[in-house]
Amino acid sequence: IQDPSIYVTFDLTEPEKLGLEEGAAFLVWTTTPWTLPYNVGVAIHPNFEYVAAKDKDGKVLILARSLLIEVLGEEAEVIKSFKGSELDRVSYSPPFTEAYEVEGEGKTVWMSGLDTYVSDSDGTGIVHTAPAFGEDDMRLARNYGFPVIVGVDNEGKHRYGPWKGVFFRDANQDIIRDLRARGVMWKEKN
């Protein structure tokens, strides 16, 4: 089975802090849609350059400058530039909140964190972070005090959401459908 490769938007909750308008979003790439219900943060490289750029529909998206053309195409219009380190602790609204609301110890703020593991060889330079499912994700969560949500039980089944009881990877298509319905699916590959 090939993993689906998707780009999703996480709208900023306080875009004005970056001098951006309502609707501006982090553009995040992942090959593990089934981990998105357990998103607790996004990772940004402190030394990369990032841009806020308009896509063809006029939506303002934040991503690494080096991936701008590849991802948004030649017609992308750059509005602003940021050093990665300026994008620390920028709050956003995640696609799914249920698991975090139960396990997040009352915290309901999702935000970015800085880590040099972020790569710009593919994706967007903004990495979806789900600490139970990746070593780097776990480090970021520890450094920032993000909750660690173990969203899958020891039989590999989801513990939350409409896909509760479903084997982890088997939820991919349902989750993708849900992301589309919420209008946060920006692009799907393969």
The residues that touch ligand VAL, with contacts defined as CB under 6 A, are 30-32, 35, 127-130, 133-134, 137
Nearer to ligand VAL by Cβ, of 42 and 72: the residue is 42
Q: How far is the CB of 12 from ligand VAL (least distance, A)?
A: 19
Nearest 5°: the CA angle 41, 176, 157 is 75
Q: How far is the CB of 16 from ligand VAL (least distance, A)?
A: 28
- Dihedral sign, CA of 19, 89, 125, 57? negative
Residue 141: which residues within 8 A CB-CB, separation 6 or more? 40, 41, 129, 131, 147, 148
Backbone dihedral angles phi then psi of residue 183, each to the nearest 5 degrees: 75, 20
Q: How far is the CB of 129 from ligand VAL (least distance, A)?
A: 6
Q: How far is the CB of 92 from ligand VAL (least distance, A)?
A: 15
Nearer to ligand VAL by Cβ, of 79 and 138: the residue is 138
Nearer to ligand VAL by Cβ, of 10 and 133: the residue is 133
Consecutive H or E run containing 102? helix 98-103
**Does residue 176 contact residue 188 with C-beta atoms inside 8 Å?**
yes
CB nearest ligand VAL: which residue? 134
Nearer to ligand VAL by Cβ, of 5 and 93: the residue is 5
